Every structure is written in structure tokens, then in C-alpha cells.
Amino acid sequence: MELVTPSIGLVFWTTLTFVLLIMLLSKFAWKPIVAALNDREKSIEDALNAAEKAKEELSRLNVESDKLIKAARVERDKMLKEAKTLSDSLIHEAKVQAHAEGAKMIAKAHHEINNQKLAALAEVKNQVGALSIQIAEKILRKKFADAKEQEALVTELLKDVKLN
């Protein structure tokens, strides 16, 4: 039974050692351990605060990024609309210019046709005048006493003349 029940000296020395150990630990080890635990708690709290701030910053940046994307889309749509308007106006101007150029060419062609028509009429008049002079010359050269012979000659000369 001696092995199971401790003696009074063993209990005394164990208690004394335990009290000394507690005093030594409280004087030298307890404060640094508590300080280390407090520092660790503070660093964990700071890390959590920093993570929360980073989360808020990320959220703010996401909102800002969404705003920028929306603004970029609006700007893109505006630029596309301006490009379409510009394209339409250029096409319209090209059509108007082509129409004006066509009208100018038609007017020039009409003018040219009228000039050629007037030149042809002048040529016909000159030919008619020349033919009239030739007929008159031939009539005057022949000295006819009879009017019937003059009419026959004029008729014969008119048959020779081909009108264009």
C-alpha cells in the first residue's frame, strides 16, 4: 500500500516545488506568454480589419469598374451613332454631287446637241444658198427667150438636187 499512498514528505516537496514553479512562471514566463498571446490576438484582429478593408475596396472598385464599363458602352454607342450619321451624310452628299454632275453633263450634252444642230442648219442654209446661186447662175447663163424652157430647166435642176 505504500506504493499507492504517498508519504507526507513527498506531498510537501511536490507542493513546494509546484508553488515555486508557479512563482517562477508568473514572474518570468507568464507575462511574456500573455504578451505574445495579446500580440497575436492584435495581429489577427488587424489582419481581419485589413481583409475587411480590402473587401470593401474590392467592392468599391467593382462598382467603379461597372460604371466605367457602362460609360465606355455609352461612348461606344455614341461613336457608332456618329459614324453612322457621318456615313449617311457622306453617302447623301455623294448622291447629290453625282446627281448634280449628271445634270451638268446632260445640260452640256443638250448644249452640244444644240450647237451641232445650229451648225448643221447653218451648213444646210449655206448649201441651199450655194445651190440657189448655182441655179441662178445657170439660168442667167442661158439666155432663154421662152419661159417654158426656164421652168423645165429649174425642174430638171431641182431633180438633180438631193435634200438631206
Q: Is residue 3 part of a domain?
A: no
Q: What is the pLDDT of residues 14-72, one digit of tens each?
A: 999 999 999 988 888 888 888 899 999 999 999 999 999 999 999 999 999 999 999 99
Cα distances (angstroms) measured from residue 124 to each of 107, 112, 119: 25, 18, 9
Task: Give how many domains the chain has, as a whole number.
Answer: 1
Contact 135, 95 (CB under 8 A): no
Residue carrying C-alpha cell 442654209: 125
Q: Is residue 2 part of a domain?
A: no
Residue carrying C-alpha cell 506568454: 33
Q: Is residue 1 part of a domain?
A: no
Q: Is residue 100 part of a domain?
A: yes
Range of the domain at 60: 8-160
Cβ neighbours around 150 below 10 Å, total:
13
Which run of H or E residues covers position 107?
Answer: helix 30-141
Amino acid letter, 23: M
Is residue 148 over pLDDT 80? no
* Axis crossing angle, helix 30-141 with helix 147-160, rounded to the nearest 10: 150
- pLDDT over 70 percentage in the chain: 91
pLDDT at residue 30 in the model: 83
Contact 150, 144 (CB under 8 A): yes
Contact 154, 140 (CB under 8 A): no
Q: Is residue 106 part of a domain?
A: yes
Q: Is residue 99 part of a domain?
A: yes
Predicted TM-score of the model (pTM): 0.41
Judged by DSSP in three states, 163 sits in coil
